[in-house]
Amino acid sequence: MAYDLRRLRAMSGRVAVVGVGDTDYGKDYRTPLGTRQRGVPSERDSYALAVEAFKRALADSGLKKEDIDGLLVNGAPYWRIAEILGLRFNWGADQGGAGYHDVAKATEAINSGRCNTVAIIKTTVQRSVGAAFGGTNQTRSGYMANWYYPPWGFTSPGAQYTMAFQQHMERFGSTEEQLGTVAVTFRKHAMLNENAVMRTPLTIEDYTSSRYICRPFHIYDYCIINDGAVVLILTRADRAKDLPHTPVLVAGLGNYGAGIRHTQFSFRFLDEGWENLKNASDEAFGMAGLGPKDITHFQTYDGYSFHLPMNLEGFGFCKRGEGLDFIQDGRIEIGGELPCNTSGGMLSESYMHGSNHQVEAVRQLRREAGQRQVRGAETSMFCHHGHSGADTVIYRRGN
Amino acid sequence: MAEKRPDRVLGPFDATFWEYCTKGEFRLQRCNACGHYAWPPAPLCSECLSEDLTWTLLSGRGKVKTHCTFERQYYPECPPPWPVVVVDLEEGPWFVGNPKGINWSELKIGMSVKVSFIDCEDSQGQFKLPVFERA
């Protein structure tokens, strides 16, 4: 592999997340939308959401606005966000999201000396503008597996993963009912999170009797669509010591992408997917000096439920083919062996494209997660598996 | 009577593929240097970077790699249940298609299939669409 573990290890634990802020996902979801339209300024647009999350994160961090000298924004132009917030910065960028990418870029910028303190701002207005991820609005979008095949009626990112689950079912005998454990468990966790969008109880019977979107996925296998923002503030770990909260250290980062067969689904499917996941997790575990046994809290980017078992297999938490067995019997619940997506994830808490998971990792490692706190949370691992390949970040609780 | 379908992607290299389909020929670009087949159509070989590619007739045979069936209606032209297969073609590419003459509930990974064409039309014109029947 091309990464240099010696230099990566030197970067481990040198940057800390010291502030987190998010918006009122549940309250916003239940508020009538009125006449909001795409591109039309409103009182609760992506800027307003970003401002709210930023002020909360800044207050949480104990830092002053003037301390922020790096800015990474997803969902709005960073210069406009900087204007609204009155920020001066040495390093700024617009960045594709998915949680990992923002944290990795900010960590790299701080470690390389470009800046000391980065605000990562993720903001997204989706539900209020009628966002949808399949069908006519994505026809002729170009070369991605969920865009290229409209003449055959194939569309939507989720349908790609239905076909990976279909492989799993036919190869290993796993069942829809087993997969239902993901949605049911994440809902259970969301019920312990007052800020989550979806908090009504969900049973396995509700799941199996629910309608299919694309067989073999039921509606509960898909994430929700809502509006919101997330802000994370990262700084040098040596500076974090003077701040109010226990720092949460960026211990490991990993990414593996392969363009090979990208429009032919490649790593969305089992075998190539496992290889990508393995390569990404090897890098992150190597950088952090940790292995699957050391992880006390795990979160997956859960655009779709099947990410969880597939990622657990690829990352080596269980054998390939055993992911659907692994997630049963409370193992991924709070109090279980490997609590997963404890805030409810994107299936039930909020669809912040992986950014809400970073906030939850921080709250868990600070031991601030209240009734959903994982006892003895020392490390937290996040996995994203999407069009960038596989990527991951490992956090550990600092002193 | 041509079936209405959602629009094809007609980028700079795709038009030739559809022209061959419309003649009833299932051709992809084969690299003359290394034998790799490009899909979607490409400016060069992604394996060896050669630009020496020939539109080559395929056997049209393959095995179902995986499949799904849409129950939500995303396109007015594609009423549910709407099955889609990914076919592992003999020549290498994994090719999206629809099953023809195979009910969605009968689809199985590993099933042998062969290409066939149906008359279609989208907002860009008439064309023949490659689909797959039992081999």
Specify whether the CB–CB gap between A125 and A227 falls below 8 A. yes
Query: Distance (Å) from the C-alpha of residue A163 to the closest C-alpha of chain B?
Result: 6
* Spatial distance between the Cα atoms of A334 and A188, rounded to a whole number of angstroms: 9
Please name the member of B68, B81, B97 whose beta carbon is closest to the beta carbon of A166: B68
pTM assigned to the model:
0.96
Whole-angstrom Cα distance, residue A274 to residue A259?
15
Contact residues, chain B, for A143 at CB < 8 Å: 9, 11, 40
> Least CB-CB distance to A167: which of B8, B10, B66?
B66
User: In the structure, what pLDDT confidence band is assigned to residue A42 with cuts at 50, 70 and 90?
Assistant: low
Say if residue A98's pLDDT is above 70.
Answer: no
Give the pLDDT confidence score for residue B27 in this predicted structure.
98
* Local structure of B105: helix, strand or coil: helix
Q: How far apart are CA A134 and CA A80, in angstroms?
A: 30
Residue pairs between chains A and B whose CB atoms are closer than 8 Å: 113
Residue A131 pLDDT: 80
Report whether pLDDT(A251) > 60: yes
> Over chain A, what HEC string results?
CCCCHHHHHHHCCCEEEEEEEECCHHHHHHCCCCCCCCCCCCCCCHHHHHHHHHHHHHHHHCCCHHHCCEEEEECCCHHHHHHHHCCCCCEEEECCCCCHHHHHHHHHHHHCCCCCEEEEEEEECCHHHCCCCCCHHHCCCCCCCCCCCHHHCCCCHHHHHHHHHHHHHHHHCCCHHHHHHHHHHHHHHHCCCCCCCCCCCCCHHHHHCCCEEEECEEHHHECCCCCEEEEEEEEEHHHHCCCCCCCEEEEEEEEECCCCCHHHCHHHCHHHHHHHHHHHHHHHHHHHCCCHHHCCEEEECCCECCHHHHHHHHHCCCCCCCHHHHCCCCCCCCCCCCCECCCCHHHHCCCCCCHHHHHHHHHHHHCCCHHHCCCCCCEEEEEEEECCEEEEEEEEECC
Determine the residue among A167, A214, A266 to mutate to test chain B binding: the one whose Cβ has the most chain B Cβ atoms within 10 Å: A214
pLDDT at A34: 52
Can you give the pLDDT at residue A259?
83
Q: Which of B9, B75, B82 lies closest to A142 in CB terms?
A: B9
Judge: A149–B66 Cβ closer than 8 Å, yes or no: no
Rg value, chain B, Cα: 15
**In chain A, % of residues over pLDDT 90:** 82
Distance CA A364, CA A31 (A): 28
Assign A2 a pLDDT band (cuts: 50, 70, 90).
Answer: confident
β-pair partners for A384: A391
Q: Supply the pLDDT for residue A216.
A: 98
Place of tokens 């830092």: A63
Q: Is B133 helix (H, G, I), strand (E, B) or coil?
A: strand
Residue A36 has pLDDT above 60, yes or no: no
Residues of A with CB below 8 A from B77's CB? Answer: 153
Q: How many CB atoms lie within 10 A of CB B38?
A: 20
**Is a pLDDT exceeding 60 seen at residue A38?**
no
Question: A165 vs chain B: nearest CA distance in angstroms?
Answer: 9
A95-104, A215-224, A382-391 — which one is most confidently predicted on average? A215-224
For B68, the closest of A139, A142, A159 (CB atoms) is A159
pLDDT in tens, A348-369: 999 999 999 999 999 999 999 9
User: Per-residue pLDDT averaged across A58-78, rounded?
Assistant: 96
Quote the DSSP letter at residue B46.
Answer: T
Contact in structure between A175 and A309 (CB atoms under 8 Å): no
Q: How many CA atoms lie within 13 A of B82 on its CB side?
A: 22
Structural domain that includes position B100: 3-134
User: Using 50, 70 and 90 to split pLDDT, how confident is the model at A96?
Assistant: low
CA angle A365, A97, A47 (to 5 degrees): 95
> Minimal Cα–Cα distance from A306 to chain B, Å?
14
pLDDT confidence band for A146 (50 / 70 / 90): confident
- CB contact (8 A) between residue B74 and residue A135: yes
Mean pLDDT estimate for chain B: 97
Question: Residues of B numbered 41-80 whose beta carbons fall under 8 angstroms of chain A's beta carbons: which are they?
Answer: 46, 65-72, 74-75, 77-78
Query: Structural domains in chain A?
Result: 5-129+224-397 (3.40.47.10)
Residues of chain B with C-beta less than 8 angstroms from the C-beta of A263: 39-40
pLDDT > 90? residue A66: yes
- Predicted confidence (pLDDT) per residue in A102-123, tens digit: 999 999 999 999 999 999 999 9
pLDDT value at A35 more than 60: no
* Rounded Cα distance, A267 and A184, in Å: 26
**pLDDT-derived band of residue A44, with 50, 70 and 90 as boundaries?**
confident
Closest alpha carbon to A218 in A230, A232, A203: A203
| For residue A33, pLDDT beyond 90 | no
pLDDT of residue A364: 98
What average pLDDT does the segment A255-270 reach?
A: 90
Q: Note the pLDDT tens digit of each residue in A291-343.
A: 999 999 999 999 999 999 999 999 999 999 999 999 999 999 999 999 999 99
CB nearest A140 (choices: B9, B77, B78) = B9
Strand partners, B114: B61, B133
Task: Band the pLDDT of A399: cuts 50, 70, 90.
Answer: confident
- Average pLDDT on A134-156 reads 86
Asked if A139's CB is within 8 angstroms of B40's CB, the reply is no
pLDDT of residue A32: 67
A76-90 exposure pattern, b = at least 16 Cβ within 10 A, e = fewer = bebeebbeebebebe
Question: Closest chain B residue to A210 measured between Cα atoms?
Answer: B71
In chain B, how many domains are there?
1
Kindly report, residue by residue over A180-230, the tens digit of the pLDDT: 999 999 999 999 999 999 999 999 999 999 999 999 999 999 999 999 999
Q: Which residue in chain A has the smallest CA separation from B12? A: A142
Q: What is the pLDDT of residues A5-16, one digit of tens each?
A: 999 999 999 999
CB-based contact A202:A183 (threshold 8 Å) = yes
Looking at residue A97, what is its pLDDT?
Answer: 66
Position A374 scores a pLDDT of 98
Structure-block tokens of residue A310: 């597939």
Q: How do residues B78-101 score in pLDDT, each as one tens digit?
A: 999 999 999 999 999 999 999 999
B92 Cβ under 8 Å from any chain A Cβ: no
